[in-house]
């Protein structure tokens, strides 16, 4: 069974989703998928990130990666640019077909890490394509075979390196809706102010949201910037909403986020 939960301190682990523009397919055949995986290897050499889980679907890709925060965008852009160049040349087309703005959500605790990896591996079932254990284009097979591009040690560590416990956890009998809800990354498009307030209270252990302005003002400039970046990583919010909710000038938030990119 998984080891005791612990907080990921500055984990640098992200759940990434790459999607085709207007949900168009980004893989037409198995060669496309092979090339995409090879491009991951090439971008890994340049930006030194680890793939902890992945799943290639027809019109999107899920990845759980460990990367330095300031290299996240560069790493994914490098991967995307390489693949778009290959795809356009092969199919004699022009222009982008993968969304430039990929989705990313930082993973800050073990519970969510385990659930997201399970969600990624079970995505083919969610889409009614194939059983998790029979789907060729996911890291589930890397965990079983010990081969592939996935760094399996990090996830398996929490199962005491017991493959059977990993399989049992991943394939345990529960509805795919429950699995999807646990990793609600795709389901949230925009948070209400009330939802954002609730998340901030939980994230910073605040009993009352009225404490937030005092909470933020009590920190140094550098610490305030880290807090704002932390809130910006909450999927479904934006600088305009952040300014309204936490009482900080929107232009200042934009300036801080731009400086941190």
For 95-123, give the DSSP string. S--B-SS-EEEE--BHHHHHHHHHHHHTH
User: Is 3 a member of any domain?
Assistant: no
Report the CATH number at residue 80.
3.30.70.1290
Are residues 42 and 81 part of one domain?
A: yes
Helical H segments across the chain, by residue range: 30-47, 72-90, 110-121, 123-126, 140-145, 153-157, 163-171, 176-182, 193-203, 211-217, 221-232, 239-246, 250-260
What is the structure's pLDDT at 189?
55
Last residue of a domain, one of 156, 186, 216: 186
What is the structure's pLDDT at 158?
93
Domain enclosing residue 250, as ranges: 193-260
User: Is 6 a member of any domain?
Assistant: no
What is the structure's pLDDT at 65?
95
What is the structure's pLDDT at 9?
43
pLDDT tens digits, the chain, 261 residues: what are they?
Answer: 454 444 344 678 999 999 888 778 999 999 999 999 999 999 999 999 999 999 999 999 999 999 987 889 899 999 999 999 999 999 998 888 887 678 888 888 888 899 999 999 999 988 889 999 999 999 999 999 999 999 999 999 999 999 999 999 999 877 666 677 666 666 555 678 888 888 888 887 877 766 665 667 767 888 888 888 888 877 678 788 888 888 888 888 888 877 655
Are residues 115 and 179 part of one domain?
A: yes
Question: CA-to-CA distance for 2 and 161, rounded, in angstroms?
Answer: 10
Are residues 198 and 122 part of one domain?
A: no
What is the structure's pLDDT at 147?
92
Are residues 236 and 140 part of one domain?
A: no
Class of residue 108 by CB neighbours under 10 A (exposed 0-12, middle 13-18, buried 19+): middle
Are residues 209 and 178 part of one domain?
A: no
User: Is 55 a member of any domain?
Assistant: yes
Are residues 103 and 221 part of one domain?
A: no
Backbone angles phi, psi at 88, to 5 degrees: -65, -40
Residue 251, classed as helix, strand or coil, is: helix
């Amino acid at each position: 069974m998984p080891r005791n939960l612990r907080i990921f301190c500055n984990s640098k682990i992200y759940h990434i989703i790459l999607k085709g523009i207007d949900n168009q397919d980004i893989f037409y055949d198995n060669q496309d998928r092979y090339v995409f995986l090879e491009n991951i290897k090439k971008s890994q050499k340049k930006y030194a990130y680890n793939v902890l889980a992945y799943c290639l679907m027809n019109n999107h890709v899920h990845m759980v990666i460990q990367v330095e925060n300031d290299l996240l965008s560069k790493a994914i852009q490098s991967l995307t640019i390489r693949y778009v160049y290959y795809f356009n040349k092969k199919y004699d087309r022009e222009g982008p077909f993968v969304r430039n703005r990929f989705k990313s959500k930082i993973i800050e605790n073990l519970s969510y890490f385990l659930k997201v990896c399970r969600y990624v591996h079970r995505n083919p079932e969610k889409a009614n394509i194939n059983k998790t254990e029979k789907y060729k284009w996911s890291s589930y097979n890397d965990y079983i075979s010990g081969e592939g591009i996935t760094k399996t040690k990090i996830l398996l560590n929490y199962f005491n390196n017991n493959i059977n416990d990993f399989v049992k956890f991943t394939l345990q009998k529960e509805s795919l809706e429950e699995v999807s809800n646990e990793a609600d990354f795709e389901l949230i498009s925009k948070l209400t102010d009330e939802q954002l307030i609730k998340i901030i209270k939980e994230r910073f252990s605040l009993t009352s949201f009225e404490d937030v302005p005092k909470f933020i003002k009590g920190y140094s400039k550098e610490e305030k910037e880290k807090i704002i970046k932390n809130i910006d990583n909450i999927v479904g919010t934006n600088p305009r909403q952040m300014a309204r909710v936490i009482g900080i000038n929107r232009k200042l938030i934009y300036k801080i986020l731009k400086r941190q990119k």
